[in-house]
A and B are shown apart, each in its own frame.
Chain A
């Protein structure tokens, strides 16, 4: 029997968490190193798993494990990853060690064990939710993720942390409860039985009526829209992200919120193809509003972390547009966008954290002239920002353009309006850069150290990935494309043909 890869990778952080809690509370050093070690071992195992992944079959679920869990309920312990799930698991396992490293000095003695423990528990849940192949298991993990995040924000956050944590929880619970109703109802539409919650058993169902399908779709979609977050249920995110420690904000916005868009592409579309098409016009409109609204709100923010949160509302709008435009390249773009946004937002939040660690504030107006005093810090912020505004050559450009072109071929007006988001993105990044990093050197910054070695290790890998995937996104796209093709078949959607007839493609002679 082969190694149960996903269970192993999922359990490693949990074991790490147990180890962290067992260590003497006063030994912060050991706590940190064990936590980092556990996350790095998880990453190493993920890398090993990725090498075993059969790219040619990326549309199928691989490393599948199916065990009976609660047969009375129809719930199974079923794991497996297709191309999309694989890259999301990889994204999670890459970002966790980065965040642990970023939080190295942020957490005070005595509370460190719980902090790192919770992060590792969260990692287990994140891996699980992306790998779940059973709707019930997915739901349980989807809700379980809230617990560590709630504590991470509520105990380790900024001044308004309790308010932000409760708000986060209420929104998420509300979304979750609506989804729960849909989950139960879905079971009865399916074949039932001891494995009635397996995703494969619920795909391609013939629903009793269109109304049933649409209601079930809405139940799932609502939860995912809150999580993603889309306008108008986005308002929990700026508070949560602003109050959370920056490492937690990274996991929250970079990974957790992706469960929303991940759910849309891997559950909403395959389970409810008819309803997804029915809802497309409204979803596209809401997503378009998210793109523009998020960007405009970002421009108006005076707090750096809130600004980053709003840029994410805008970016999530792009992702949703790409998913619901239902072209293969648009969806590949969205799936890639989930990864790229994870890295670029992580870089932004982490640099924001480094600034806050020096200045004790995230108010944009409290900064100025830092380009001269701390050029590396300024350069890191600029690169992360350029990635956020989707500068060609960086990874986010590839995904954003795919989303836009994938939308244009079906909904040209939506695509053209969404491109306005590109101009607004330039505004929110460059205005912020100008305020914080240009101008005369300020006195307060005279004694500041530029990036430390640890900080370089936090930022450099992210930027390296951002540039590498911008120049050569093919390895990731190759993994995503087959999974997207499968989804396209499940919703029986096809790409529009070129409108000009009889185009002769460039001669074969021009390619070696």
Chain B
């Protein structure tokens, strides 16, 4: 019955997991969790080999994920959604939530991305964190992150997803603040957690609303039945989900934490704040497809949020001189692309996830490249003091170039396949002004991306040397370069591998359903050419300004827009003025009122009742028998009261 219901939307029904690879899938989460526990509880004793244990745990998860992938590949497409019931988690009256996993093409795609890129970054970190006294703790957190992220994508209910959701938030908090002896880093960590909590508020409200509407919060009940709910309910749930997605994925207006999150060690930025965790919001929206499909207004909100963030990130990215912050702005912008696509219905879902996969490779690769540059440049992040590093760090330069071409969307690099799909879908979805505005945004965004990424690439690797006198740039060790090389291979080829013949689309169809494909309002070939022309313009502009012309070592004052972009378009100023200052004022006045007003009033009353100050003083000096007496008196009153009536 279930199956026929779901099949109406072109989606696979849910079936019970079978076979050891599927029924043992809990090990995917358990292995890195155990690794993390051993490293944290084992303490200093595990310092010597702890990092290798962390690496091993991550690869073990990848191995199981790969088996799972092969296993699902061997099944008929419509039988690829498997639920694995684990145990009864929260049984309370009508509210029954079981812990269980959902193994389907979408979750397995994430498993492969998270464990593969995650494992590479584990390897990279062995060398990157070599001289850190707390390297073991770092690996414990990394393992914890992998476990939480896998729980997030594998959970079979929104409530269990929420566990992974806040778990990755905690990992992110711990890792951003890994060097929390630096007060600014500690503040950045706290900010990330709290802004995320605001988003989590949305997610938890959506779960409550789901329960009120459907009497359940598991995917297998909620999603196939979503069509039966009214549009109002679905819009409410959808918008609440979107708030959650905005927090985790740093989408407007909850984007302010991501730039500061670069305080974390660079492998963390690569793994958590580029490739995986920040894309969880996109996962949430795509996973909740049936809800959004019944709520066009919520869908529109997703597209608008994505569009705004796409431009926001791109503009900020043009002005940043800190290589990591520029990459962070780019991440925000790219996730904006994914979010925009996720609001476009089933065809958009595919490209959203497709771009998420390719972005996971090329952005992680570039972050690791940035880490490698920092490694060779005494942890400097100021691109105005880089320049012409291509000769000194050949592997870093080449792998970074692969990522750069990929994000630009130059064919046949990875990003071309996924980003072009998004632009085309945006031009093909909706009526009237929508395809023009949303498609246009995506198109202009591609040009801006080309400019700021080329700026970053040229300022770092080309143009004139602007190194400080003491700098001795050198290539990083093999443990760091090999992960970069492998990710670069992905940046080059993954798009074609997944995109040719619509392979990835067919893989995801059992989850996303098949949407009607419309022709874009502008012919596809025209769009490709237009995109490439804009990209070429962006690159040329960046070349003129940051390669052929000398780059000043201190940033010029710049125009009003530049200054605004440097300050992240005043996001922090707005948050401070609208939330922080009034909040602080409210808190302070409440503390005052509580001490003077509420307490004072009750105290005054108490003094009267208690028989004025004299008696209070006597009690204070320790005539404690009077308390016993007063309680005794209470009992006596009961006795007398009852006796009096009896007589």
Q: Using Cβ atoms and an 8 Å threshold, which residues of chain A touch B522?
A: none
B23 → A minimal CB distance (Å): 9
- B224: Cβ under 8 A from any A Cβ: yes
- A478: Cβ under 8 A from any B Cβ: yes
Q: Using Cβ atoms and an 8 Å threshold, which residues of chain B touch A431?
A: 190
Q: Mark A32-60, 1 if CB is under 8 A from B, else 0.
A: 00000000000000000000000000000
Q: Are A422 and B215 in contact (CB under 8 A)?
A: no
- A147: Cβ under 8 A from any B Cβ: yes
Q: Are A434 and B190 in contact (CB under 8 A)?
A: yes
CA distance A396 to B140 in the complex (A): 24
Q: Mark B560-590, 1 if CB is under 8 A from A, else 0.
A: 0000000000000000000000000011101
Q: Using Cβ atoms and an 8 Å threshold, which residues of chain A touch B170?
A: 386, 391
- A171: Cβ under 8 A from any B Cβ: yes
Q: Using Cβ atoms and an 8 Å threshold, which residues of chain A touch B643?
A: 72-73
Q: Are A401 and B159 in contact (CB under 8 A)?
A: yes
Q: Are A500 and B627 in contact (CB under 8 A)?
A: no
CA distance A431 to B197 in the complex (A): 14
Q: Are B14 and A510 in contact (CB under 8 A)?
A: yes
- A332: Cβ under 8 A from any B Cβ: yes
Q: Using Cβ atoms and an 8 Å threshold, which residues of chain B touch A415?
A: 205, 208
Q: Using Cβ atoms and an 8 Å threshold, which residues of chain B touch A170?
A: 606, 609-610
Select A512's contact among B16, B186, B221, beta carbons within 8 Å.
B16
Contact count band on A? 35 or more
B277 → A minimal CB distance (Å): 15
Q: Are B212 and A392 in contact (CB under 8 A)?
A: no
Q: Using Cβ atoms and an 8 Å threshold, which residues of chain B touch A279?
A: none
Q: Are A163 and B620 in contact (CB under 8 A)?
A: yes
Contacts known (A393-B166, A512-B16); A504 close to B225, Cβ less than 8 A: yes
Select B620's contact among A162, A408, A501, beta carbons within 8 Å.
A162
- A426: Cβ under 8 A from any B Cβ: yes
Q: Using Cβ atoms and an 8 Å threshold, which residues of chain B touch A391?
A: 166, 170
- A204: Cβ under 8 A from any B Cβ: no
CA distance A150 to B88 in the complex (A): 44
Closest residue on chain A to residue B209 by CB atoms: A408
Q: Are B624 and A183 in contact (CB under 8 A)?
A: no
8 Å CB interface, B83-135 against A: 83, 85, 87-95, 98
- A220: Cβ under 8 A from any B Cβ: no
Name which of B328-336, B485-493, B547-555, B633-641 contacts chain A. Answer: B633-641
Select A408's contact among B3, B90, B211, B587, beta carbons within 8 Å.
B211
Closest residue on chain A to residue B227 by CB atoms: A500
Contacts known (A167-B603, A500-B225, A509-B15); A147 close to B587, Cβ less than 8 A: no
Contacts known (A329-B95, A481-B93, A499-B233); A510 close to B634, Cβ less than 8 A: no
8 Å CB interface, A153-196 against B: 154, 162-163, 166-167, 169-171, 173-174, 176-177, 180, 183-184, 187-188
- A457: Cβ under 8 A from any B Cβ: no
Q: Are A332 and B93 in contact (CB under 8 A)?
A: yes
Select B220's contact among A154, A405, A439, A506, beta carbons within 8 Å.
A506
Q: Are A507 and B220 in contact (CB under 8 A)?
A: yes
CA distance A500 to B190 in the complex (A): 39
Q: Using Cβ atoms and an 8 Å threshold, which residues of chain A touch B630?
A: 173
Q: Using Cβ atoms and an 8 Å threshold, which residues of chain A touch B67?
A: none
CA distance A301 to B180 in the complex (A): 23
- Residue among A169, A405, A481 facing the most chain B CB atoms (10 A cut-off): A405
Contacts known (A170-B610, A405-B207, A500-B214); A140 close to B91, Cβ less than 8 A: no
Name which of A11-19, A99-107, A490-498 contacts chain B. Answer: A490-498
Q: Mark A129-167, 1 if CB is under 8 A from B, else 0.
A: 000000010011001101100110010000000110011
Q: Using Cβ atoms and an 8 Å threshold, which residues of chain B touch A74?
A: 642
Q: Are B93 and A484 in contact (CB under 8 A)?
A: yes
Q: Are A147 and B628 in contact (CB under 8 A)?
A: yes
Name which of A280-288, A292-300, A351-359 contacts chain B. Answer: A292-300
Q: Are A402 and B616 in contact (CB under 8 A)?
A: no
Q: Are A439 and B167 in contact (CB under 8 A)?
A: no
Q: Are A439 and B180 in contact (CB under 8 A)?
A: yes
Contacts known (A170-B606, A503-B225, A510-B83); A301 close to B591, Cβ less than 8 A: yes
Q: Are B90 and A473 in contact (CB under 8 A)?
A: yes
- B63: Cβ under 8 A from any A Cβ: no
Name which of B341-349, B437-445, B454-462, B594-602 contacts chain A. Answer: B594-602
Q: How many A-B residue pairs have CB under 8 A?
A: 266
Q: Are A392 and B166 in contact (CB under 8 A)?
A: yes
- B545: Cβ under 8 A from any A Cβ: no
Select B218's contact among A184, A416, A506, beta carbons within 8 Å.
A506
- B162: Cβ under 8 A from any A Cβ: yes
CA distance A188 to B89 in the complex (A): 46
8 Å CB interface, B163-180 against A: 163, 165-167, 170, 173, 177, 180
- Residue among A301, A440, A485, A511 facing the most chain B CB atoms (10 A cut-off): A511
Q: Using Cβ atoms and an 8 Å threshold, which residues of chain A touch B230?
A: 500
Closest residue on chain A to residue B634 by CB atoms: A180
Q: Are B233 and A500 in contact (CB under 8 A)?
A: yes
Q: Are B208 and A497 in contact (CB under 8 A)?
A: no
A339 → B minimal CB distance (Å): 13
Contacts known (A166-B619, A431-B190, A495-B93); A235 close to B14, Cβ less than 8 A: no
Q: Are A434 and B187 in contact (CB under 8 A)?
A: yes
CA distance A419 to B197 in the complex (A): 10
8 Å CB interface, B138-194 against A: 159, 162-163, 165-167, 170, 173, 177, 180-183, 186-187, 190, 193-194
A473 → B minimal CB distance (Å): 6
- B75: Cβ under 8 A from any A Cβ: no
CA distance A12 to B642 in the complex (A): 32
B17 → A minimal CB distance (Å): 9
CA distance A231 to B177 in the complex (A): 36
CA distance A20 to B129 in the complex (A): 55
CA distance A481 to B94 in the complex (A): 10
Q: Are A392 and B16 in contact (CB under 8 A)?
A: no
- A472: Cβ under 8 A from any B Cβ: yes
- A372: Cβ under 8 A from any B Cβ: yes
Q: Using Cβ atoms and an 8 Å threshold, which residues of chain B touch A500?
A: 213-214, 225, 228-230, 233
- B646: Cβ under 8 A from any A Cβ: yes
Closest residue on chain A to residue B43 by CB atoms: A376
Q: Using Cβ atoms and an 8 Å threshold, which residues of chain A touch B83?
A: 506, 510-511
- Can you give 20 A-B contacts (C-beta < 8 A)? A73-B642, A139-B638, A170-B610, A180-B637, A328-B94, A336-B92, A392-B166, A405-B207, A408-B205, A408-B211, A439-B180, A473-B90, A474-B87, A481-B91, A498-B212, A500-B213, A503-B225, A506-B216, A506-B221, A510-B220
Known: A371-B180, A422-B200, A426-B197; 5 extra A-B contacts, CB below 8 A, are A235-B599, A332-B92, A392-B165, A402-B90, A511-B98
Across the A-B interface, the 3 shortest Cβ-Cβ residue pairs: A328-B93, A498-B215, A506-B220
